[in-house]
A = this chain, B = another copy of it.
C-alpha cells in the first residue's frame, strides 16, 4: 500500500516511572544506561515502540522485563517531544507511570539492566529530560491520589490502615489525623476488614484490610477527600 510521502518518521520510546513504597519512603526504580552518550548514568526504564504493539502493550512489556510483574497499575501520563531531548537522534518519549508493590519486585530479573531503587528524595542525576518526567509524575500522582483511592496499588493485597496512611503522609509530606482518615476511608466502603492482624509493627497489631473489588470497580473513581483541602496541590496538565 502507498505510504504517506515526504514525512519524517521518528523513534517512539516508552519510559516507565516505576514507583514503590517501602513503608517509609517512596522509591523509584531506575536502570543504568549501558551505552553512550551518558553511559552509566541513571535512566527511567524504557524501550522503543515495536512495529506490532501499542504503547500500552509496550509499557506492559517493559515493566514485565524489568520487574517480572504483570497486572500492575499502569497509566499513560504524557508525551515528551522536544526535538533535542535525546542527543543521539530524535525520539518522542511516552511516559507511563506504574505503581507497584515493592515486595513483589523480583530482584533477579533486573540483573541485565543494572536496576536499582532510589529514594525519591535522593535521586541521582538522570539522563535527558527524565527528571522533568519524574516531577510531572509526582504532581499527577498527588493530584489524583488526593481525590481518588489509588495509593493502595503500592501495597500488598492485604494492608493496614496505618500503612495506607503512611503512604498519604509520605506523598503529601504532611500529617493526617488518623480519626478523620479512617472515617472517610471506611465510609466509602471500598475496604473490607479482615479478621487477621498485622503484628509486624506493633504489639497490639493492626487489622488487615483489602479492597472490596466490587465497589472499587464500580466506584473506583469516587471522590474521596482524604487529604485536607489546603494540602491538595494544583491540577496538572
Beta-carbon contact of B81 and A237 below 8 Å:
no
Number of copies: 2
* Given A12-B92, A92-B49, A78 contacting B81 (CB threshold 8 A): no
Residues of chain B within 8 A (CB-CB) of A78 are 76
Residues of chain B within 8 A (CB-CB) of A55 are 79, 81, 92
Which of A2-10, A16-24, A103-111, A184-192 lies at the interface? A2-10
Residues of chain B within 8 A (CB-CB) of A49 are 8, 10, 81, 92
Beta-carbon contact of A4 and B8 below 8 Å:
no
Q: What class of interface size applies to chain A in its complex with B? A: 35 or more
* Minimum Cβ distance to chain B for residue A172 (Å): 15
Q: Which A residues form the contact surface with B (CB < 8 A)?
A: 1-4, 7-12, 48-56, 75-76, 78-79, 81-83, 87-92, 94, 144, 147-148, 220-221, 223, 229, 232, 234-235, 237
Give me 18 other A-B pairs in contact (C-beta within 8 A), A12-B12, A148-B235 excluded: A1-B88, A4-B48, A7-B11, A7-B48, A9-B9, A9-B10, A9-B11, A49-B81, A51-B83, A52-B83, A53-B83, A54-B83, A55-B92, A56-B81, A79-B79, A81-B94, A147-B235, A223-B232
